Amino acid sequence: MPSERANGPAPRRATDAASGGGRIYVDLDDVLSDTVTGLLRALERLRGKVVRFEEVRHFDLGRSFGLGADELARFMREIHRPEWLEALEVRIGAADVLGSWLERGYEVALVTGRPPHTNAASQRWLAKHGIPHSAFHSVDKYARHGDGDASLSLESLAEMEFALAVEDSLETAVFLADALELPVALMDRPWNRRMEDVPTRARARITRVGGWHDVAKRFAAP
């Protein structure tokens, strides 16, 4: 987690970016897709474990699902297969909001922390659901990708300019709000509700949203 800086430029507000020139960062899992809902179905089917959505209070799925490291690794390999990823449901309103941003001249960059070998399945899912976007980036957000994987680092991501970010990971939202000084729309999820340790500067740039209709209302002009 980036440390706070005592001085620096004033935070950029969502309305600071002129229409027609900004780039918007949009995460994939649990922002565009109902990923955890799908994982819970898979967990019951493959492992016989029943966990309710509201019980997923930790971004660490091993902790939330009660799986040891080896068992979690096997589970993640199974659910990263194309048939699982392509069966995920789409979040209501996502395509409409992204389409409206593109119509107004914004670039929509999809930024996923999924391993690069899932890119083809992810892009087929996007096409299947008609999710409009300008670019697709695989980023090693959580230091899980191998050295040979064709993914961007967080440092490379920090060199890109964005007007707004939409995320569900609190850790990544804090990085974006602090290091990149971005306004962040944080999709409200059980695993991102503990904000006590978030630095004040980052917290001021994070807006909790209930879904895509809420994003459109609060960030009408990113």
Lowest mean pLDDT across 9-13, 63-67, 105-109, 189-193: 9-13
Give 52's contacts (C-beta < 8 A, 6+ positions apart).
40
Mean pLDDT value of segment 6-35: 65
In whole angstroms, give the CA distance from residue 77 to residue 118. 11
Lowest mean pLDDT across 13-22, 41-50, 181-190: 13-22
Tokens coding 105? 């001249």
The conformation of residue 152, written as its DSSP 8-state character, comes to B
Residue 148 has pLDDT above 90, yes or no: no
114-126 pLDDT per residue, tens:
989 999 999 999 9
Q: What percent of the chain has pLDDT over 70?
A: 86
Give the mean pLDDT of the chain. Answer: 87
Q: Which residue's entry shows tokens 């990708």?
A: 145
* Cα distances (angstroms) measured from residue 169 to each of 21, 103, 193, 200: 26, 27, 10, 17
Residue 19 has pLDDT above 50, yes or no: no
Q: What is the pLDDT of residue 182?
A: 95
Q: Where are the alpha helices (DSSP H) in the chain?
A: 35-47, 61-65, 69-79, 82-85, 94-103, 119-128, 154-158, 170-178, 200-203, 212-218
Residue 8 has pLDDT above 60, yes or no: no
- Its pTM stands at 0.86
Residue 170 buriedness (CB in 10 A; 0-12 / 13-18 / 19+): buried
Q: Nearest-CA neighbor of 189 among 50, 82, 39?
A: 39
Q: Nearest-CA neighbor of 127 among 97, 85, 163?
A: 85
Lowest mean pLDDT across 140-154, 185-199, 204-218: 140-154
The helix (run of H) or strand (run of E) holding residue 136 is strand 135-138
Q: In 10 A of CB 219, how many CB atoms?
A: 20
157-172 pLDDT per residue, tens:
888 899 999 999 999 9
